[in-house]
């Protein structure tokens, strides 16, 4: 009896080959027509517009332009013989380099010029006043005050960078010499 049950169970549980299901011609044609209709309904593909910059990238690009303007002011005073200001300018250049890692420029023209010289597009618009230490001190103080307001909503890494830049600017405002 057990032999009979074992044979019966084998027959029931034995894997039997399954014949693949065939699609009818009608189903195949209907599916193809539906696929073609959905492709043509979408129309020709539109060239995608470049993705807009994130708020952090916009902020970083604005800070880069501002820093390059500040570097240009320092450079003009250094060119007039104020060698004491070279470390201040170098720190601003380090800020620009750090910001560029957070905001990669998309076009070669926007990438700026080699380190140490400001790009043509970010130089101050025809400075009416000759740069002075008092003007640099005021510029550094105002920039440091803006940094605290710019921290809201930034990622931790970017917030740390902006706060560090603000701290450096505040130190510059206090450390700039009164005279050359």
What pLDDT does 180 receive?
A: 73
Q: Give 109's pLDDT tier (boundaries 50, 70, 90).
A: very low
Residue 123 has pLDDT above 60, yes or no: no
Q: Strand, helix or coil at 51?
A: coil
Closest CA to 95 of 151, 162, 156: 162
Residue 97: predicted pLDDT: 95
User: Of 122, 111, 109, 121, which Cα lies nearest the Cα of 69?
Assistant: 122
Confidence of residue 9 (pLDDT cuts 50, 70, 90): low
H-helix segments, the chain: 2-13, 25-41, 55-79, 86-102, 133-150, 156-175
106 band by pLDDT with thresholds 50, 70 and 90:
low
Euclidean distance between the first and final Cα of the chain, in Å? 113
pLDDT greater than 50 at residue 134: yes
Phi, psi of 87 (to 5 degrees): -60, -35
Residue 119 to residues 34, 56, 66, 177, Cα–Cα distance (Å): 56, 21, 11, 27
Cα distance between residue 69 and residue 86, in whole Å: 15
Are the CB atoms for 72 and 118 separated by under 8 Å?
A: yes
pLDDT in tens, 28-59: 677 767 776 665 555 555 666 666 778 889 99
Inter-residue contact 133 to 179 (CB < 8 Å):
yes
């Amino acid at each position: 009896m057990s032999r009979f049950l074992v044979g019966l169970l084998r027959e029931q549980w034995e894997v039997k080959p399954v014949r693949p299901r065939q699609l009818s011609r009608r189903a195949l044609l209907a599916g193809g027509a539906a696929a073609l209709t959905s492709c043509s309904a979408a129309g020709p593909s539109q060239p995608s517009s470049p993705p807009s910059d994130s708020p952090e990238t916009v902020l970083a690009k604005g800070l880069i332009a501002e820093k390059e303007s500040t570097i240009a002011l320092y450079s003009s005073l250094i060119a007039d013989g104020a060698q004491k200001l070279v470390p201040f300018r170098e720190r601003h250049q380090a800020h620009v380099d750090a910001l560029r890692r957070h905001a990669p420029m998309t076009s070669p023209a926007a990438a700026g010029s080699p380190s140490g010289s400001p790009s043509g597009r970010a130089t101050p618009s025809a400075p009416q006043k000759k740069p002075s230490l008092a003007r640099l001190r005021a510029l550094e103080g105002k920039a440091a005050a803006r940094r605290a307001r710019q921290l809201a909503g930034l990622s931790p890494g970017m917030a740390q960078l902006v706060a560090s830049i603000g701290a450096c600017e505040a130190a510059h405002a206090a450390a700039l010499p009164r005279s050359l």
